[in-house]
């Protein structure tokens, strides 16, 4: 049974406290996202996750740093109010971001096709959206699509991309799985901790 909570548990942490060199580009705090504006619930551009998810992410970062690579997080814990904001957006006529983020899909179908969820793993605090960065150049690795490109081309196993792009996806995927995360079929950037501590609890405190 789903449980909803407005309280932030003690075992939710700011990821930079555990992984100081992780890079952050919290997209739903600003305008560079599929909605095209800041999302309800994001008061600061910070990554908050459960302690368990953060410790698992530290393993990934440590392995990557040995290859002069690192992690860049786009979204971490996401309050239910943000998910509700997505739902309301999906039902209105605003299509200003369609060409950039969902060119081949009708926005009202984004939920049934699995790109957005009414109950998001992000809201349980152990799901993260992320990519890889080359630490020498400070450039994001080419994954074949941008983050939040809601399209079959973003499916991790889609081969309609270059060999290098696919290799980058598989590097991220293999390290995340090795450290205890599970991927999904629709988005190369999305992972949930397999043994997440709050499997049925959806939180609604602000990201601040």
CATH of the domain at 141: 3.30.1380.10
Residue among 70, 106, 75, 113 nearest 91 (CA): 106
pLDDT > 90? residue 34? yes
The total domain count for the chain is 1
Q: Is 187 a catalytic residue?
A: yes
CA torsion, ordered 30, 120, 103, 177, to nearest 10 deg: 100
Span 187-195, average pLDDT = 98
Question: 87-131, pLDDT tens digit by residue?
Answer: 999 999 999 999 999 999 999 898 888 888 889 999 999 999 999
Residue 12's pLDDT is 98
Output the average pLDDT for the chain: 96
The answer as to whether 163 is a domain residue is yes
Query: Which of these is catalytic: 6, 7, 187, 208?
Result: 187
Question: 145-160, pLDDT tens digit by residue?
Answer: 999 999 999 999 999 9
Instruction: Give 186's pLDDT tier (boundaries 50, 70, 90).
Output: very high
> Among all chains, which residue has been given the structure tokens 């991790």?
156
The answer as to whether 99 is a domain residue is yes
pLDDT > 90? residue 1? no
Residue 154's pLDDT is 97
The answer as to whether 88 is a domain residue is yes
Span 11-23, average pLDDT = 98
207 secondary structure, DSSP code: B
Span 18-47, average pLDDT = 98
Residue 133's pLDDT is 98
> Among all chains, which residue has been given the structure tokens 């349980």?
124
Structural domain of residue 70, as residue ranges?
A: 3-203
Q: Does an H or E element contain 18, and which? A: helix 15-18
174 secondary structure, DSSP code: H
Instruction: Give 177's pLDDT tier (boundaries 50, 70, 90).
Output: very high
The answer as to whether 208 is a domain residue is no
The answer as to whether 32 is a domain residue is yes
pLDDT > 90? residue 191? yes
The answer as to whether 74 is a domain residue is yes
The answer as to whether 146 is a domain residue is yes
Residue 114's pLDDT is 86
Residue 37's pLDDT is 98
């Amino acid at each position: 049974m789903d449980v909803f909570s407005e309280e932030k548990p003690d075992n939710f942490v700011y990821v930079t406290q555990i992984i100081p060199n992780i890079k952050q580009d919290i997209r739903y705090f600003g305008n560079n996202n599929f909605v095209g504006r800041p999302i309800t619930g994001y008061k600061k551009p910070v990554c908050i996750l459960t302690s368990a998810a953060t410790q698992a992410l530290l393993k990934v970062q440590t392995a990557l740093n040995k290859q002069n690579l690192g992690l860049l997080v786009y979204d971490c814990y996401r309050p239910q109010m943000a998910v509700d904001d997505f739902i309301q957006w999906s039902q209105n006529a605003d299509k200003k971001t369609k060409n950039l983020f969902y060119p081949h899909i009708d926005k009202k179908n984004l939920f049934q096709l699995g790109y957005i969820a009414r109950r998001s793993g992000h809201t349980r605090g152990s799901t993260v959206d992320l990519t890889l960065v080359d630490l020498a150049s400070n450039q994001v690795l080419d994954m074949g699509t941008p983050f939040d490109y809601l399209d079959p081309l973003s499916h991790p196993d889609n081969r309609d991309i270059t060999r290098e792009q696919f290799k980058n996806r598989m590097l991220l995927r293999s390290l995340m799985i090795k450290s205890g995360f599970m991927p999904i079929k629709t988005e190369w950037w999305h992972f949930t901790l397999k043994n997440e501590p709050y499997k049925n609890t959806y939180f609604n405190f602000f990201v601040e």
